[in-house]
Structure formats: structure tokens, C-alpha cells
Structure 1
């Protein structure tokens, strides 16, 4: 989404039954001594690349990148929020070369505010848009196949209770292909904070009985976001849990970006809870890394940042595993075609804790 300071609509701070407090941030982000490029006790930065910044491919700006997914051919599907889907071939030192770009459109041929992408096993794509919000199903060539139902309350006001430009920012498909999860970036009007002062946003799920069947609306869950942040992306870890990127921006200071591990199991279905928090158990989460605590590795910033490595990071994908079981992650920042922002790729490895 566009660069801005995130302001929540929450107006009160109420208790959430059986809520779980996030792991102490200072402990989680403290890098261990002697570990190269450590961002925290569990996460290391393997490198970054600005090679895509302010470039063109077939006359199309390679920027505004908001979502990432591994495609069936091993390339990276990189989604622009200006209604284009690129494929990137990633080489040594994160050298990225676009190999394909496909335009996307809605049922009337209009552009989307496309924010997140999931690639199905058959190569089709599930793509969110923040306009309505919506999730649409496309083939590899950008032909619209289907559109998923969305609960009325999640639609942008006045049709629903969502804030414009703060709806389906993240999308994840759980192992087996039966459960799809979309994360709202900001809370619905009327939803309040939890007892710890964290904003409660809704994660909506859909279910299908067969991996290639149609999705139907399923449960909805509350996720607690740290102050002055919003959810910019989610992705599946492969074991039923989720990686969650929380991102904020303050003018004159810069971005904050934190990576959390969250577990939907045990959370209460809040689809019938009109106003959060209510009598609900939120998703449990633990902090893996503050990206601002990573070594800068010589990165430069075009505007004030707490760490010059930081920018408007919006996309996240799991690209594989190391031999010792750590997840390999690829992140990307959305430059908004702004001269003071950068399209930057980041490679991280993270060891997931056994428990959240």
C-alpha cells in the first residue's frame, strides 16, 4: 500500500480473555555474539540487493512490489500494487532478472490495488485487492477465473466497516491447500485494542474440501498488532503457523519492520463478534526479529531511517530450507515509484522456535 503513517481506528483498550503477551522484544532482537549478520537470536540477514530499483521491463516499471510467492517453475512471482504480476529469476547475490510480466484486471477490465499473491499447485494465482477488498483467482496469463466471497463487515465503508486502503494486505495458503488466510492491515471501525495496547486486526479464512475446489467463508481470528504498526504480509511456514510482517512509518523517523511467528491454532473464531476484543482468544505470537536490528551491510537510505537497510517492506515468501532446517526467506520493499524510496530485496534465514 502507499507510504503513510498508520493510524488505527481503535478508541479503547479492553481485555482479551486468555490473551498471550508477545515475547519480550529486547530479548528476541538481541543478536548472539559471534554469529555473522545476526538480526536476533533466531534470524540472520544473508544479503540485500537494490538491482531492481527504478528499472523497466518491457516498458513496465519494476516497482511498487507488495507481494511475493514461489512460482511452479522456481521463479519468484512478484506482485505490483499497480496491477502487474512479474516473474523474477533470482541469481547469485540476489541478482534478480524479470522474465515475464502479466497485467491484471477486475471483471470490468479496471486495475486492482493488488497487494498479496499465492501461487496454487496448478500454477493459478490467488490475488488480493484492497479496493473492495477482494480475492480473485487468475490463470498464469492473467485471465480471471473466479472471485471468492468476502464477509460484508470486511468491506470498505460505507458497504462495511473497513478503512479504505487498509484491508487485505497479506495472503497465505496453509499446507494441503485447504485453508486460505487473508490478513487485514488495520482494524475495523468499532474494534478496540487489547489490554496490552495492541491493535486487534482480523484474519479471515476460507476452506475447501478438495485442494482444487472452490473456497467458502470459514473462521475469522483476531491478531494483536504492536503499537504504531500494521500487518503488511503473512505467509505459511509449512507447519500450520504463520510468519507475519508488521510495518510502520513515522515521518522524519522512517520505517519500523518486525517479523513475528504466529499460531492460529487455539484462537477463537470472532466472525460473530461485532466489536473486538470481546470474549476471544487472539492468535499467539512471538517476535523473531526487528529488521532494524539487522546489520546494514553497507545499505544506504534516501530518507531518514533508524537503519539505512530499512525501507517500506511489504512482501515476504518462504523460498526453501537450509540443511539444518532453517527457513530461507525473501523480502521486498515497495518503492511506490517514489524517488526517496527503494525497491530492495532481502534474503534472511530464520530458525523457528518449537513453540509460540
Structure 2
């Protein structure tokens, strides 16, 4: 409930006592339990009672929005309320594909994008670094790779008749030979020993080689200007430029990263600020988006950076960085404030993450924010429309506590306000918990024709799953408005 935001209900809802329609002016003597509400002829029951003040009836904004079947979002930095009509579920599609190996299911869904000009039911997706798991050895968790020869890939998929069909697999490759795979295709193994997780074989007994070209791919975006993809990678963290045939052109990395490893087949451009080296493992560059005109690219981290240390794992501040694609230089950085975990049950702040994005235009993004729960335990699975137009550009300003007093990640809401930092604004366009989406990792979102929203989950290759199903689903929703 928004404590300071009230709207006169009589201007929006039909208020009735018995069979007689009334206005707030003739409510004298009427008690709250006598007031009946309807919206477009349908009876509704607000979640909070109205208040009669001097003959006018007021409902809390949250109760009003719920009665009108709208989402409500409060922005304390702008003292504004956004009410948004809810979408309609229009389709459910499941992946039915052969397993890759015993106990390893086929995987897509770590990202999602639609290319203008393609049929509305055709998308591109990725499947992160490949099958991997964790095994406890003497009290220590080891990262295992059951299929070491899996090549991280782009997948062209189609949805029809309730099924997701894989039309094409495009393995990522270098213009030469990857020293670990022995082929042109890369692996999903970590890059740098001592920095990244230690990779092990399926039984967690043998340490595997590190691959300087290995990628843990997550988000995917398409640039219409040169007909290429850009893919976000959790290892670097980095953003990888890729031809349509899967050949890696270049890799954007943080300053200081290239000195730790040699990648002669793929130029490593140290363009990201050095602070991005302070990522939390497995919580790196999760999403990427490109504006339809091909001018700008955005990348968002999955969680807060460990800046200055791992205590920042519970920080709510996540960075979104903006690049000029003509020069590849960063031109802006914005603060995205994650939802507060406190009102949710058994949810740690560090387990709220960003998972994908769509760039609608220079000032508008769609962002996927979610918790770590699935099924009936899920509490936070939202797609937000994000407005950057009034957000503060903090590029290079709050990376070093010795210069700025506090790093961005150390700041609380009061600190942001004290420093005049205005985060991006957020308004809900989909709450998939209400629609009972069954899986935890909604990691791909796409928008088709401005009003069809698609979401897909990553099944993590079914590692440790006991279900015979593949566990990947793509759902579509029709928005009652257009986002452009």
C-alpha cells in the first residue's frame, strides 16, 4: 500500500449501496462493510477499506489498482505512481527435444530475441556455457562439466501448436583453432585460473583446462546495422560480438582483464570500466540490448558488484551501462534498484537478480527481475518497463570509495538521495507469479510488434532434475497497449 498516495474512488469506480448507485457526497452514515464495488459491471472487492473524509471516499492506490486489474508501482525518487493494464496470456509452448546424454537434457532459454522481418513466431536464444553442476567434495563445492565438448551456441527456434522447435543450432567459434577444443568451436570452460571457478570433470575428480575463449553466454541482441549479434558473457564479464554464422569478432572486457590472458584469435577490447572486474562469480553480464536503430547498446549485470567486497552481495544497486555502437565507447551508466527482499518470505536480497532485457529505444528498456524460487514458492517474477530519460548518469563517479566516500554498491536509498542520484524508473508490465509460470529461471524476454511479450526459462540442461519432461517453456502475452 502506498501510504501517501490516495485517489478519490468515486471518480473511478462505481460505488453502490444495495441497488442504488451513489456518489461520495451521499455516503453519510454508510459504513465500509455496506459499500459495494464494481468495475465494468463486475463485482470487485478491494484489498483495503476505503476512507470517508469530509464526504469523499478514498481508496489506497494499491487497492484501487487491484480492483481495476492494474499493476501499481510507486517511485519514491520521483514521488509518482504508475498504473498499468495487465496483459493476457495467449500461448504456452514446451520444448520436446532428445536428451544430449544420460541425465542431460537439451537446453535453450538463457536469452531470447526476435529479429524484425522474421515471422512473429521465430526467435533466437542461447543456452549459457553448457551442462554443468556442483558436487560436494570434503565440504567444498566443485563446478563440474559433464559434457566437456559442448559448444556454447545460438539457437534459432519456432513456436507453434504448443511446441518449441529448434530450427538451427549455431555453435560459437573462432577464426582458427581453439586450444582446448582442438576445433574452431569454443567451449564453455572458464578463462582465467585463480580468478574464475575451477572446472572439473563429471565426477569432480579431474581438474579441466581453462579456455581463453570459453564463454558463459547469457543475453543476446541483434544489430540491424551490420547483421550481427552481441552476446553477454558472465565470465569476463564481457560482451561478445558475433557474426550470424557464430564466428566471434571481438570481445568487450573490463580494463585490466586482457593482461591476465592471451586471446590472439579474438581482440579483447578493454572498454568496460575496471570496476566490472569485481563481479560476483556466476553473477556477471546477464543481459544485453540494442536499440532498433542500431545506435546504442545496453548491458546489465545480474547482481551488484563486489565493490569493495563480498558484503555487497546484498546491495540493491545494479549497474546498467550504455555504449555508442559506432565507437564502442561507454557513454552512460545508470542505477537500477532491485526490489527490497524484506517483504518477501525467506528471500535473501542477494537472491534477487536481473536476467534479461530488451532495448525499445534510447530511453526505454524492458527488464526481467526475479527471485530464486519456482512453482508455488515463487514470489517475484516481474517484467518491468524501465525509463532512463530522467535517471542520473553516474559513469565513472562511484567506482572508488576513497574518492566518492562510498561506492555505488555501498549506498542505501538515503545515500542515493543525498548524492542526488536518481535511479531508473520501473513500471510493471507482467507479474508472471499471478499467471503461475512454473519455473524459476525466466532468463529470456522478447517483444514482437510492440505488444506481444514472450518469456522463456532456462532449464539448466535438466541437471539434477527428476522430471521426464525437458522443463523449458515459452509463454506469450498480449499487452493491452503498444510499447515503442
TM over 0.5: yes
**CA 1:252/1:178 → structure 2, altered by over 3 Å: closer, same or farther?**
closer
2:126 pairs with 1:76: no
Task: Give the alignment's TM-score, normalised by structure 2.
Answer: 0.55
Q: Helix, strand or coil for the counterpart of 2:293?
A: coil
1:44 to partner: Cα distance: 1.6
Q: Would you identify which runs of 4 or more consecutive aligned residues in structure 1 move more than 3 Å? A: 23-33, 53-57, 105-110, 250-256, 307-311, 351-354
Corresponding residue for 1:129?
A: 233
Where do 1:130-209 residues align within 5 Å? 130-148=234-252, 149-155=271-277, 161-190=278-307, 199-208=316-325
SS in 2 for 1:163: coil
Which residue, 370, 384, 393 being the options, matches 1:260?
384
- 1:119 aligns to 2:222 (yes or no): yes
Does structure 2 conserve the Cα–Cα contact (< 8 Å) formed by 1:318 and 1:330? yes
Counterparts of 1:329 and 1:221, CA distance in 2:
24
Distance 2:169 2:369 in 1: 28
> Number of aligned pairs?
294
Aligned positions of 1:172-321 closer than 5 A: 172-190=289-307, 199-208=316-325, 213-226=326-339, 227=341, 228=349, 229-238=352-361, 240-250=363-373, 254-255=377-378, 256-271=380-395, 272-274=397-399, 275-276=407-408, 277=411, 278=416, 279=419, 280-294=421-435, 307=436, 309-321=438-450
Find the structure with the greater CA-based Rg: 2
Per-residue deviation at 1:41? 3.1
Query: Per-residue displacement from partner, 1:70-96 (whole Å, max 9, x unpaired)?
Result: 1366131111113111101233x4533
SS at match of 1:337: helix
Task: Measure the CA separation in 2 of the matches of 1:312 and 1:89.
Answer: 20
Q: Deviations over 1:155-177 (max 9, x none)?
A: 2xxxxx21111121111112321
CA displacement 1:119-143 (0-9 Å, x = unmatched): 1214311011100111111111111
Which has more helix, going by share of residues?
Answer: 2
8 Å CA contact 1:102–1:142 kept in 2: the answer is: yes
Contact preservation (8 Å) 1:221, 1:282: yes
Q: 1:86, 1:98 within 8 Å by CA — same for their partners in 2?
A: yes
Offset at residue 316 of structure 1 (A): 0.3
Partners of 2:361 and 2:64 in 1: how far apart? 26
Higher RCO by CA contacts (8 Å cutoff, separation 6 or greater): 1
Contact 1:317 1:330 in 2 (8 A): yes
Q: CA separation of 1:347/1:353 partners in 2, compared to 1, >3 Å: closer, same or farther? A: closer
Task: Tell me the equivalent position of 2:163.
Answer: 95
Look up the match of 1:7.
Answer: none
C-alpha spacing 1:70/1:25, structure 2 compared with 1 (3 Å):
farther
RMSD: 3.3
